[in-house]
Structure 1
Amino acid sequence: MNKKDVTVAEATIVEGEEEEVEEVRVKLGCYGETVKLVEDPSEEIMLLWGLQQPIFSKPNAFVHQSSLTLHLDAFGHSISILQSPSSLMTPGVTGSVMWDSGIVLGKFLEHAVDAERLLLQGRKVVELGSGCGLVGCIAALSGAQVTLTDLPDRLRLLKKNVDANLESSDILGSGTVSELIWGEDPDPDILDPLPDFVLGSDVIYSEEAVADLVFTLEQLCGEHTTVILSGELRNDAVLEYFLEAAMKEFTIGQVDQTELHPEYRSFRVVIYILVKKDIQE
């Protein structure tokens, strides 16, 4: 799985009420299943909100943001994540509690590894906007060497959760915490060598942050890097803006809901796979 697989696999026709929509499916990066190629951001948004109808799905289906602790099992380990509900009252702070997109992404990683669609063991992984650290901890439990990153004022809670969940001697991988401000140069250890995987949940949340996020993704991605991002469908304009910006440098595919963990999927959450376009060319 060291070599990128970025090939058009098949094209299908999805029948809608008014017109037929051609769906091109591709294999991207190190994900072993085909994904739906995103070709037109505005069409992608229309289909997401029209077909998945996220507003009719329950928000916070897998999290309890008023609780001080969230418990979840993954890869045979019991994970306990500390939350700071009181920090939600601080303007601009979102990484103090868990959101559904983090649960969905973490359990997707476990499900994909178990189904042999992903191989994370021994791989270098960087997580963006780690927040409470659940996704990065799950990746480490799969055997990955994970660097969990966030803004300087978010690192204390993040480090507590990493230390609490990855200190056991029977953990296959590892987790370290590092500061990373999008739009600025990362620590050299993050870039050398470039990661095999970049992960992120709920990192697409404001138009102001999109340019810096895409810039950081470009810095972190090389020939063998696969990006996996999850997001909760709240603001269609922000997601469309991100897709437009990212598609200049990345090929993007949407993971089918059927490929998500059967007990941890939601029409409010979407997962994308991204790889740099120059790899395809």
Structure 2
Amino acid sequence: MSCSGDEDDPFPADHCLFTETFSQETVYKLLGEELKIRQVYGAHLGVAAPVWEAALYLCDYLEQQRVELRGKRVIELGAGTGVVGIAAARLGAEVTLTDLPLALQHLEANVSINKPSSGWPSVPPSVLPLSWGEDHVNFPSDWDLVIGADIIYLPETYPLLVETLAHLCSEEALVYLSSRMREEHQTPCFYEEYLPSRFNVELVHRDDNENYNIYRASLRTEQ
């Protein structure tokens, strides 16, 4: 069976992961919050369907480092299931979750089922489409944090992602990116060459056993 997909497919990574569509809900304890995340497995969602380990690593890091989220303006790129951003919103962050249009219904469903019984402590998370390098200019630049988990896997998108990050971070936002370091997808190259072209980049966590890195970055100011 061929695993090749439509060249216009925005989620090309593993076309044959999910040959039949089904959903499941999994409960996670993240950032001190209990989240119920619906994962809809099906070819139409591809890599946007599951909770990837990089997202769980990022949540653990933010909790261990006591990164302040309450009252912060946070945007998540390539949010997928939205697990990181939803956890931040449960802690009082003002969160915008973004992905390609195909994933937005999936995101909205997870926001809905994770609304606290007492209501969101800040504002409900926003869910918006964002295609890197195209409509990023429609978004503001006054974020406190820009986050992403396992979004570095398509080399042709790397310049577009850097352009998008530079726009979002033009007012001194911090970026936290969590990635499995896949040589076959040139993930190390993104952090060693593409991102440093515009950003100060720091490796803040490394899991050698599972090959996950977490990076913190800030936009370089011209001297």
Contact residue 110 and residue 142 of structure 1 kept, 8 A: no
Work out which of the residue numbers 206, 218, 223 in structure 2 matches 1:275: 218
Q: Does 1:186 align with 2:136?
A: yes
Take 1:207 and 1:270, find their aligned partners in 2: how far apart are those partners? 18
Take 1:93 and 1:67, find their aligned partners in 2: how far apart are those partners? 13
Contact residue 254 and residue 272 of structure 1 kept, 8 A: yes
CA 266–162 in structure 1, closer or farther in 2 if over 3 Å, else same = farther
Q: Does 1:70 align with 2:52?
A: no
Question: Equivalent residue for 1:99?
Answer: 52
1:240 deviates by 3.1
Kindly indicate whether structure 1 or structure 2 has the higher relative contact order, using CA contacts under 8 Å at least 6 residues apart.
Answer: 1
Q: Aligned ranges for residues 59-208 of structure 1 at < 5 Å?
A: 68-85=24-41, 87=42, 89-90=43-44, 93-113=46-66, 118-174=67-123, 175-186=125-136, 188=138, 190-191=139-140, 194-208=142-156
CA-based RMSD of the aligned residues comes to 2.3
Between 222-231 and 195-204, report the one with greater CA deviation: 222-231
CA 257–208 in structure 1, closer or farther in 2 if over 3 Å, else same = closer
Q: Does 1:234 align with 2:182?
A: yes
What letter corresponds to residue 95 of structure 2 in structure 1? V
SS in 1 for 2:171: coil
Number of matched residues? 200
Contact residue 110 and residue 138 of structure 1 kept, 8 A: no
Contact residue 137 and residue 167 of structure 2 kept, 8 A: no
SS in 2 for 1:84: strand
1:162 deviates by 0.8
Moved over 6 A (4+): none
Take 1:79 and 1:179, find their aligned partners in 2: how far apart are those partners? 23
SS in 1 for 2:103: helix
With the length of structure 2 as denominator, give the TM-score of the two structures: 0.81
1:139-194 deviations in Å (ceiling 9; x for gaps): 11221100000000100010000111135325423411111111112374x30x52
Contact residue 132 and residue 164 of structure 2 kept, 8 A: yes
Structure 1, unmatched stretches of 5+, are 1-65, 259-264
> Which structure's CA Rg is the greater one?
1
With the length of structure 1 as denominator, give the TM-score of the two structures: 0.65
SS in 1 for 2:157: helix
Take 1:250 and 1:183, find their aligned partners in 2: how far apart are those partners? 17
